[in-house]
Amino acid sequence: MKEIILCKYGEIVLKGLNRGSFENELIKNVNRRIKPLGNFKLRSGQSTLYVIPQDDEADMDEVYERVKKVYGIAKVCRAVRAEKNMDSIFEVACECFGDILLGAKTFKVVTKRSDKSFGMTSPEVSAELGGRLLSKFHRLKVDLYEPEVTVVCEIRDEGAFIHGAAEEAAGGIPVGTSGRALLLLSGGIDSPVAGCMMAKRGIELSAIHFEAPPYTSERALMKVERLAEKMSEYCGRISFYTVPFTKIQEEIKNNCKEEYFTLIMRRLMMEIAQRIAEKNGLQALITGESLGQVASQTTAAMVTTDAVCRIPVFRPCIGLDKKEIIDMSYRLGTFEISIEPYEDCCTVFTPRHPKTRPTLEEVEKAQAEFDFEALIEEAVENTRVKTIKTY
């Protein structure tokens, strides 16, 4: 029994003339993820990517888990190919489902026929296969509404494919089809979610993290790197920039009015992030901000941070509740890492009474108490970069 994996396309199928380039990007991404696991042939046809192992070496459980996390794929299933005739279909269905059907009480057959030249209609195939299975497994009954086992038979150009109910995959469109952006990645819950949301819309991610040693520890940085590594299961490889931010934070503290600390810090983060973006061909910034979550995330506060931005800032969490963001982070697998209690540079010099309704003029005035330009340049100069990937 030779198992293959069927990856059903999501939104790609709605693309017009440039659909081919979306498919190519998807195939490249899938290939990159599973290549270390063995030898595969990848073939695209009828809105599906066929992942076909070329030998018996590959760990198909792991292949399945990996392709499930590739953006651009809406559903996945493990299938076995049969010839396009009822004898072969029945034989393969018995091979795949024999053991399960022996122990089950109810089942149903679902047939999908994308090869319209096949001589029987979908209901006819379901009735025929269902009938044969019933006569082989005497204790079975058909239950169309809540069956214990669903046997799916797809009649495609390439052959007939037998599998169970397909599982939801990552959805979205392939990473690399929407340009490149730089995610401001803290150790919190929101920013990894924001990054994955944009990767799901086809963005190739880089990440930038601001550290403030000795106020923040080496282990805090390692936590953020582990977050990026977890994200890369979905987003693919990530260029990870680490910016030394201590001097800037100290000068904010020494020179600026306390109630504006956070806003000035955020403006300087945006400035540095932009310069790194511009140097590396990244077209936009991404943050994990959510409206009203904290003082620096009110509309008035964002007016003051956006005022220093020359490139678009994507804030995909902006309209989400914390609970919704937590649910997403849980599903992505970043939640467990995010809640580890390490310090973040934002929390080092938090004002006791941050301004929630600052005006741009006030913030600019408070920031003008010190000339940060030389320190900004120095921070950009001393930024380190490494590539992060899971596999």
Binding region for ligand ATP (CB under 6 A): 184-186, 188-191, 208-210, 287-289, 293-294, 296, 344-346
Between 283 and 293, CB nearer to ligand ATP:
293
Which residues of this chain interact with Mg ion, rule CB under 5 A? 186, 188, 344
Q: How far is the CB of 51 from ligand ATP (least distance, A)?
A: 34
DSSP string, 319-331: T--HHHHHHHHHH
Tokens of 120: 């029987």
- How far apart are the two ends of the chain, measured CA to CA in Å? 28
Q: 296 is in the binding site of which of Mg ion, ligand ATP, none (Cβ under 5 to 8 A by kind)?
A: ligand ATP
DSSP string, 150-177: EEEEEEETTEEEEESPPEE---SB-TTS
* Alpha-carbon span 174 to 236, nearest angstrom: 10
Q: 239 is in the binding site of which of ligand ATP, Mg ion, none (Cβ under 5 to 8 A by kind)?
A: none
Between 48 and 216, CB nearer to Mg ion:
216
Q: 30 is in the binding site of which of ligand ATP, Mg ion, none (Cβ under 5 to 8 A by kind)?
A: none
Conformational region of residue 150, where left means phi above 0, alpha means psi within -120 to 50, and beta covers everything else: beta
Helix (H) or strand (E) holding 95, with range, is: helix 86-103
* Residue with token string 């198992």: 3
Q: How far is the CB of 288 from Mg ion (least distance, A)?
A: 7
Between 72 and 188, CB nearer to Mg ion:
188
Q: 172 is in the binding site of which of Mg ion, ligand ATP, none (Cβ under 5 to 8 A by kind)?
A: none
* Alpha-carbon span 195 to 282, nearest angstrom: 14
Q: How far is the CB of 168 from ligand ATP (least distance, A)?
A: 26
Between 10 and 188, CB nearer to Mg ion:
188
Between 4 and 320, CB nearer to ligand ATP:
320
Q: How far is the CB of 219 from ligand ATP (least distance, A)?
A: 14
* Alpha-carbon span 109 to 370, nearest angstrom: 72
Q: How far is the CB of 217 from ligand ATP (least distance, A)?
A: 13
